[in-house]
Structure 1
Amino acid sequence: MAKEIERKFLVRGNGWRGMVPAKHYCQGYLSTIKERTVRVRCCGNEAWLTIKSTTQGITRTEFEYPIPPDEARYMIQHLAEQPIIEKYRYCIPLNGLVWEIDEFLGANQGLIVAEVELNHAQDEIILPEWIGEEVSDDPRYYNSNLVSKPFSQW
């Protein structure tokens, strides 16, 4: 059973732009209830089904499985809650960690968030200059919550 230990921050400035190419992600949620989220995600010719538990601090249980991309696209189009989450993701390796910067599109346009996964909740991290306010404890920034309350409605 995998554990996801993740901190989340707002991004400031453009110092991160141009460091790596972006990948386009499209994801839909089959369940967004607090106790468990079920997400279908596509990126290029790959797709995954992900189930996550309730977050405790910055940790939660996560199960992720590759699935056929055609099936994932069908689920996103016909079964997922609306709106669909679309974003560009930039994976920037820095100081032994990988920072995932998500630049949201559509109903969440204008929101840019950086996430970093850790091995332990207590791990010290060096914050890049383009990292702003930490929002790990703010549920508004969970992708699953951006479906029911998109950034454009804040």
Structure 2
Amino acid sequence: MEIERKFLIADLQLVPTPSDRSLIKQAYLRADSTCAVRIRIRGDKSYLTIKGASSESGMSREEFEYEIPLSDAERMIKMCPNECIIKERLLIPYKGHTWEVDVFHGRHEGLVLAEVELSDESESVDLPLWVGREVTGDPRYYNSYLINHTI
């Protein structure tokens, strides 16, 4: 089960230096309200991920992720009906959590989102000063939505 909260970042300059950064290329074999099937290449590793529908709160959903050979991922991405999402992921440790800050490129240039994973929906989390408006549960900020739309 994936449980996360998501926030907009208005000013990337306020985000501290990351502990790690990587380039991500991802595409979707399927993306609708019941299921998303994603192919992701992150550095020299690649993954097949299947995500179920979001809960009422928008914070949680079932997720199954499997590492797959890079050559398979590259071939699968070519099967995807939409263009890839390209983003840089920054990992930012903050008060017991690791925040994932995604800086989008291409047609989503300028969009910056921060996510924090939780152990359960009631877990409290200290919000850094650099996060903006919460967009948890807003489907316009799901990557599976962004493959077909711009914000």
| TM over 0.5, shorter chain | yes
Q: Which residue of 2 aligns with 1:149?
A: 149
Partners of 2:20 and 2:65 in 1: how far apart?
24
User: Structure 2 stretches of 5 or more lacking a match?
Assistant: none
Q: Which residue of 2 aligns with 1:7?
A: 5
Aligned residues: 148
Partners of 1:105 and 1:39 in 2: how far apart?
18
Q: Which residue of 2 aligns with 1:134?
A: 134
TM-score normalised per structure 1:
0.92
Q: CA RMSD in A?
A: 1.1
Secondary structure class of the residue paired with 2:143:
coil
TM-score normalised per structure 2:
0.94
Q: What do residues 24-82 of structure 1 show as CA deviations (whole Å, max 9, x unaligned)? A: 00001000011000000001110000000000021100000000011101111x11132
Question: Quick check: 1:81–1:147 contact (8 Å CA) kept in 2?
Answer: no
Q: Which amino acid aligns with 1:91?
A: L
Question: Quick check: 1:83–1:107 contact (8 Å CA) kept in 2?
Answer: no
Question: Quick check: 2:3–2:117 contact (8 Å CA) kept in 1?
Answer: yes
Q: Which shows bigger deviation, 20-29 or 107-116?
A: 20-29
Partners of 2:72 and 2:18 in 1: how far apart?
33
Partners of 2:126 and 2:19 in 1: how far apart?
19
Q: Which amino acid aligns with 1:81?
A: P
Secondary structure class of the residue paired with 1:133:
coil
Instruction: Give 4+ residue runs of structure 1 displaced > 3 Å after superposition.
Output: none
CA apart distance, 1:150: 2.4
Secondary structure class of the residue paired with 1:73:
helix
